[in-house]
Each structure stands twice: as structure tokens, then as C-alpha cells.
């Protein structure tokens, strides 16, 4: 390299220092395309490394570099924590839509896109020896302890992996419809998802520290802790660590959701296009100090309820048939006999869909369905050889196909009612209708029920188990002499669920073909066919 005296003399004549010269080159727009500026920018890494290696400037330059990096991370976190970042969760105005639209996968993507440098730093810090060198061998005194910890960790996650975490892991890693063939590959994908969750939690804690209103993840975790009956002291401790929201804030969220649900139930119920369902559940209210009077009376029998809208094009006029049904009901002592419909038997159900002759098949509709069920069972649960033919089986031909519709479900308030009795079922139905904004049109007194619709001409569909159906029928039988349609429970139409219908069918098969000894001895019996299979 030639002597630099000429350069120094030129700088002295221009009365400018070397630092001022470089600063001017990099800041003045007229020198933007100058070859010296281009060369300086191309070799900027070499210049920075030289500053870092020089003993006189190493510490100061390192500190300055750390300041630049810290400001970069803070700016990224500040943008994520701002209201525009979408991480603000207002407890006083929480809605069900917020909870339903929350996605941990979307949060991970937003954090990575909004703070790429910070996200990369977390990836470096969390990429420890156990993750990066898991396939290699470890050295040192703690190898056995680390191996035992890894084995326990794998054992825990293997127990909950496939069912509880499959959707979450696939969502975070972006590997939908990918089924690992080996345990090693499944564990590798799981480690990647856990690493992303840790990065998300750490970033959320820092965002909340920067802006307390940035609490989306904390709010969801708080609601989860509340639903899991976590003690308030634990929740408040986690809130002080910015992992959860406080117990008081959770109460505000629950109150906001309760108000929204109350309005949704009344709006849906008063449209008369709602279907009601209820069932019993038991709660064991254990006390710390038992008393003589209630030493064993800790089990509480309650009733839960659901409302969901009627879909598939059901209109209000379709339900306007209460008077018509009562006029033809067998419970009506004044029923019009000539117009009373005859009782139907099971063989009448076979006429709902008359058999159509198919010239291309000698099998009936029932035979075709039975053969389809047999093939599916054989290729799914049979010998492994037949599994290869599972994809070749076509779906059965539909007779009257019901389209699949996503139906919103609204949970009603739990009721302190024991519906194991007839009177309990009556109370449950009346209370459930009241939550839907429906009351006796002849006795509306409460202010909030003044705009209750008159359902005397309409029917209400009610779901429940078989015991519920029996008790509702008993209630309608006992009340059939009442004067008003409300007191007669005339508007109640019970519909058993598909599960309970299958239970009845299975019980009928048992009573007819399996339980009686004579039914098992005949060569044409069901048990004989099972023995052949």
C-alpha cells in the first residue's frame, strides 16, 4: 500500500477530519453514487470488524453496537405492542367473536413478521444443546441427568401428543396432512412447535411489560386458568409475572361474555327458530368442615342447557302447527275423532322412501347399504391385506342427503334444578325458555319479559336423553286437562338425539335376537351369523 501522507495532506488542506470526511460521504445526497461511497458500503463489514478488533475502540464500539441492536429490538417490540398490532384485549368489552377468532398460529406469524430480528434472536437463544445436538452424544458430569430429563420429557409428551396436540403442532409448524412415520420425526416436529410456543410466550411477556394493554395471550391463559378452577392466588401471581391477567380482570371478561350471551339467548329464543337441549350434571360441593346436619349431602344435582338455531331453511310458518297437533293429539279429550290420525307401526317407516328399481343392480337398497358396510369394515378393521382397497370403496348413494351446516351453539346458564323427576323437567323447560326470552303469554309480569312473543300457535323443539323424553311425555299427560296451551306444555315437541336413537335400536336388537335363549339356537339367528364371521 502506498504512503497515505498525500491523503492526510489533502484532508488538512480541506480543513476536514477523516471522521467528518466519511460522515459527509455517507450523508450528502450528491455523493450517493460516488465510487468511494459504493466501495465503502461494499466493504462495511470489514470496516466494522476492524473497529471491533482494534484495542483502543473495541469496548466503546461494542457498547455502541449493543445500543443500536437494543433500539432495534425495542422498536420491533413497541410496534407489536401497539394497538395496531392487534394484541390489545379489552376485558370490559370482550366478545365471543374475539375468543373464537383467536389463533396461536396467526399470533406466531404476526410476531415473526412484525419483529423478525427479535424473533431470530429468540430462536438462537432457545436453540440449546438439547435441541441442536439431540442426535449427538453429550459429555460432562451431567450427561446422565440430562438423558433422564429428556426421557421423562418425551414420555410425557408422547402421552398427549396425537390427540391433544396434533392440531396445534401441525398449525405451528405448517405441516398439515403430514403424518410422521417414525417416533423420531414426530418428536422433532413437536420440539419445533414447543420452541415456537416458548418464543410466543416470551415475546408476549415483554410486549405486556412495554404496554399493559397488549394482553391477548395473557387474557386467553387467564380464562383457561379460570375454567380449570385455578386458585386466585396462583392467577394473581402469574398476573404479576405478566403470564396471565388478574382475577379481577378475568371477572370483568366473564361478566362481559355473560351479558353478550344473555342478549344472544334472548334474541335467538324470541325468534322462535331455536332448538333447546338440556341434560343433568352433578357437582360435588365438598366442605372443609363437615357438620352433623349435612355430613354426606355434598352432591348437587344441576341442569345444563343449550340453544342453537334451526337451519336448513326452517321458516317460522313451519313451526306454526301447535293447534293442529293438539286437535289431533291422543292426549286431547276433545279431539276430533274423524281427523285423528291412525297409529303407525315400524313397517310404516319403510314407506318413507319407496324402493326404486335399478336396472343395473340386482340388489335392493338395503342390500347395497349392507354390502357397503361390510366392505368398509373389512378394509378398515379386517386383515392388513384388505387395507389397500379402502380408497377404492365408493360412498353409498344418498337417498335424502342432509347438507352439512356449521351451527352456532349458545350455552344457557346452569340451573339449580334436578331434572330426574317430572316436576324437575317442567321447571327446567320453563327456566330454559325464560332464558330464551319466552314466558307464559297469559302471565307476563316481569319488565324484561314484556316483549315476550306469543307461542300459543307455535311448537318448540326440545332435545334430551330418553329419560327426559319419558318425563316430558308424562308431564304432558298429567297436564292435558289444563285450559291453556302453556300449562298443557302443548308447545313442547321432544326429539331424541341420534345417539339415543342408536341406543334404542341396539337395545331392541339385544332383546329380540341376543338375550332370549331361543333366539340364539335357530340356524337363521343373528348369533349364528356372528359365529360364521
0.95 exceeded by the pTM? no
User: How do the domains of the chain map onto residue ranges?
Assistant: 5-71, 86-130+149-257, 273-287+297-331+409-496, 354-392, 502-532
Apex CA 317: angle with CA 311 and CA 320, to 5°?
110
pLDDT (mean) for 420-430: 94
Query: Residues near 410 by Cβ (< 8 Å), separated by ≥ 6?
Result: 261, 264, 265, 268, 306, 307, 308
3-state secondary structure of 456: coil
Comparing C-alpha atoms, which of 91, 413, 131 is closest to residue 256? 91
Cβ neighbours, 10 Å, residue 442: 12
Residue 88 DSSP symbol: B
DSSP 8-class letter at 281 = E
Q: Is the CB of residue 429 less than 8 Å from the CB of residue 418?
A: no
pLDDT in tens, 221-271: 999 999 998 999 999 999 999 999 999 999 999 999 999 999 999 999 999
pLDDT, tens digit, 9 for 90 and up, residues 134-179: 444 444 545 566 566 667 766 766 665 554 555 555 655 565 444 4
When the pLDDT of each residue in the chain is averaged and rounded to a whole number, the result is 84
First to last CA, the chain: 94
Q: What number of other Cβ atoms are within 10 A of residue 71's Cβ?
A: 10
Nearest of 459, 443, 438 to residue 329 by alpha carbon: 459
Which of the residue ranges 34-48, 110-124, 358-372 has the most confident prediction, judged by mean pLDDT?
110-124
128 alpha carbon, distance to own chain's centre: 32
Amino acid at each position: 500500500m502506498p504512503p497515505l501522507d498525500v491523503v492526510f495532506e489533502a484532508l488538512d488542506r480541506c480543513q476536514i477530519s477523516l471522521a467528518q470526511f466519511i460522515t459527509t460521504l455517507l450523508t450528502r445526497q450528491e455523493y450517493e453514487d460516488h465510487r468511494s461511497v459504493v466501495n465503502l458500503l461494499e466493504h462495511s463489514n470489514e470496516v466494522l470488524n476492524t473497529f471491533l478488533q482494534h484495542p483502543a475502540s473495541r469496548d466503546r464500539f461494542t457498547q455502541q453496537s449493543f445500543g443500536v441492536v437494543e433500539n432495534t429490538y425495542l422498536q420491533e417490540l413497541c410496534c407489536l405492542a401497539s394497538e395496531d398490532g392487534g394484541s390489545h384485549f379489552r376485558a370490559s368489552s370482550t366478545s365471543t367473536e374475539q375468543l373464537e377468532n383467536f389463533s396461536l398460529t396467526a399470533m406466531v406469524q404476526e410476531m415473526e413478521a412484525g419483529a423478525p430480528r427479535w424473533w431470530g434472536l429468540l430462536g438462537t437463544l432457545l436453540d440449546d444443546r438439547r435441541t441442536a445436538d439431540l442426535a449427538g452424544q453429550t459429555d460432562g458430569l451431567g450427561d446422565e441427568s440430562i438423558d433422564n430429563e429428556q426421557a421423562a420429557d418425551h414420555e410425557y409428551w408422547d402421552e398427549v401428543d396425537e390427540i391433544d396436540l396434533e392440531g396445534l403442532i401441525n398449525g405451528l409448524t405448517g405441516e398439515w396432512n403430514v403424518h410422521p412415520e417414525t417416533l423420531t420425526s414426530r418428536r422433532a416436529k413437536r420440539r419445533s412447535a414447543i420452541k415456537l410456543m416458548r418464543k410466543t410466550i416470551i415475546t408476549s411477556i415483554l410486549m405486556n411489560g412495554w404496554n399493559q394493554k397488549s394482553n391477548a395471550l395473557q387474557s386467553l391463559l387467564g380464562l383457561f386458568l379460570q375454567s380449570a378452577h385455578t386458585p386466585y392466588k396462583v392467577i394473581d401471581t402469574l398476573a404479576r409475572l405478566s403470564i396471565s391477567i388478574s382475577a379481577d380482570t378475568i371477572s370483568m371478561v366473564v361478566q362481559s361474555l355473560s351479558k353478550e350471551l344473555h342478549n344472544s339467548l334472548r334474541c335467538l329464543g324470541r325468534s322462535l327458530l331455536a332448538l333447546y337441549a338440556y341434560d343433568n350434571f352433578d357437582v360435588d360441593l365438598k366442605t372443609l368442615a363437615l357438620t352433623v346436619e349435612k355430613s354426606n349431602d355434598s352432591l348437587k344435582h344441576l341442569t345444563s342447557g343449550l340453544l342453537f338455531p334451526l337451519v336448513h331453511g326452517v321458516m317460522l310458518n313451519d313451526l306454526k302447527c301447535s293447534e293442529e297437533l293438539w286437535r289431533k293429539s291422543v292426549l286431547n279429550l276433545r279431539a276430533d275423532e274423524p281427523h285423528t290420525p291412525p297409529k303407525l307401526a315400524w313397517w310404516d317407516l319403510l314407506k318413507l322412501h319407496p324402493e326404486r328399481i335399478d336396472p343395473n343392480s340386482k340388489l335392493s337398497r338395503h342390500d347395497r347399504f349392507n354390502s357397503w358396510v361390510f366392505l368398509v369394515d373389512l378394509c378398515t378393521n379386517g386383515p392388513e391385506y384388505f387395507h389397500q382397497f379402502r380408497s377404492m370403496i365408493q360412498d353409498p348413494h344418498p337417498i335424502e342427503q342432509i347438507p352439512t351446516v356449521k351451527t352456532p351453539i349458545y350455552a344457557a346458564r346452569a340451573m339449580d334444578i334436578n331434572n330426574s323427576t317430572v316436576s324437575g323437567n317442567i321447571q327446567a323447560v320453563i327456566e330454559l325458555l325464560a332464558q330464551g326470552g319466552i314466558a307464559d303469554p297469559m302471565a307476563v309480569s316481569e319488565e324484561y319479559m314484556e316483549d315476550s312473543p306469543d307461542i300459543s300457535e307455535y311448537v318448540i323443539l326440545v332435545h334430551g336423553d330418553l329419560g327426559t323424553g319419558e318425563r316430558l311425555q308424562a308431564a304432558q299427560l298429567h297436564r292435558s286437562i289444563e285450559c291453556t296451551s302453556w300449562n298443557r306444555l302443548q308447545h313442547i315437541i321432544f326429539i331424541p338425539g341420534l345417539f339415543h336413537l342408536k341406543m334404542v335400536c341396539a337395545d331392541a336388537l339385544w332383546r329380540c335376537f341376543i338375550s332370549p335363549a331361543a333366539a340364539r339356537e335357530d340356524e337363521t339367528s343373528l348369533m349364528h351369523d356372528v359365529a360364521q364371521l
